[in-house]
Amino acid sequence: MARYQRQTMLPEIGEAGQQRLARASVLVVGAGGLSATLLPLLAGAGVGFIRLYDGDRVELHNLHRQTLFGVGDVGEPKARCAQRALAQRNPDCLVEAHSHLLSASQLPQALEGIDLVVDAADNFAITYQLSDACYPRDLPLICASVLGRKGYVGGFCGGAPGYRAVFPQLPTASGNCNTAGVMGPAVATLGAMQAQMALSVLLRLMPSPLGCMIQCDFVDWHIRQFRFDDAPEPDTPGTPFIDRLMLRDDDCVVELRSLEEASESVADRVLRILPQQIAAWQPPSDQRVVLVCASGMRAAQAADNLAARGVTRLALMAANTL
């Protein structure tokens, strides 16, 4: 217990709390900027088991914010590099590394035996999938997102409302650090806040961070917090995200990307319909319509258009998360 002496001195943690952390199993999705701070804090605090998913490799332009990695890691899978780095920091923390994206069909297996989920992928398509899976399982979900010098962190599910209760509609426009840039300290701040929320849930500290969202603005230098404990769940379930393994033989797969953007689609037989053509398209009445784009944003907008016309059998595919 000498390693954890300073935190077990806190009366709300103590030896019983430390044992609770040692028995905890956490799923972390994403090993990038948020996880560069999040993962060492979870391992350092004594979390016993971390299941980690990330399909990327370390690149030189990652290093300004993904401080878990070094120049020698460039070109290597992020999940494996993170596993090696955490083993050096605390060998008592077992890290199960998966060097591929966590897709929709793999979620049941990934969630098996897990006490808490941390969404550090900073990808809204993955966030909705995780929330849709965690909410019916009563699994706590800690999400964060950062862009530029602004971001948020929040606690969902696990007895609190799900992500769709706060964000019922997918965004109509989105950016990411590859297209809009991001500052390392902003990412590290939100990653640390994710770790604090996750540990607080595992330790059952009150008030719970579940049902709470914190918005951080390092442009105008303010932090806002609000609770959404009573936010109602949507009356109808949102259109689900699926992956290739969840496609059916009789699905009507609609590719919303042009040939120039994606010459190869996610399935052998697809209809290629551009988003501006959806309003004039008559979907089949006897098939599920699967809408495909890169991020899921155009697919969600097309799904809204079809749902307003009475189409109920819909699914989304985000090609950059497959």
Q: DSSP readout, 231-276?
A: PPPPSSPPPPB--GGG--TT-EEEE-S-TTT-SS-SSSS-EE--GG
Confidence check: pLDDT of 4 > 60: yes
Question: What backbone phi and psi angles, to 5 degrees, belong to 67?
Answer: -75, 0
Contact 146/182 with Cβ under 8 angstroms?
Answer: yes
Distance CA 217, CA 214 (A): 10
289-309 average pLDDT score? 92
187-202 average pLDDT score? 97
**Dihedral of alpha carbons 302, 305, 308, 309, sign:** negative
At residue 176 the predicted structure's pLDDT band, cuts being 50, 70 and 90, is low
155-174 average pLDDT score? 88
Q: State the average pLDDT for the chain.
A: 92
Q: Specify the amino acid at residue 104.
A: A
Confidence check: pLDDT of 179 > 80: no
Nearest CA-CA partner of 237 in 149, 313, 317: 313
Q: Which helix (H) or strand (E) holds 116?
A: strand 116-119
What pLDDT shows up at residue 155?
98
- Per the listing, tokens 């849709």 go with 132
Would you call 165 helix, strand, or coil by DSSP? helix
Distance CA 208, CA 201 (A): 7
At residue 169 the predicted structure's pLDDT band, cuts being 50, 70 and 90, is confident
DSSP 311: -
124: tokens are 């809204």
What pLDDT shows up at residue 173?
61
Contact 266/292 with Cβ under 8 angstroms?
Answer: yes
What pLDDT shows up at residue 321?
76
Confidence check: pLDDT of 139 > 90: yes
Residue 232 has a CB neighbour count (10 Å cut-off) of: 9
Residue 298: Cβ-neighbour burial (10 angstroms; 0-12, 13-18, 19+): buried
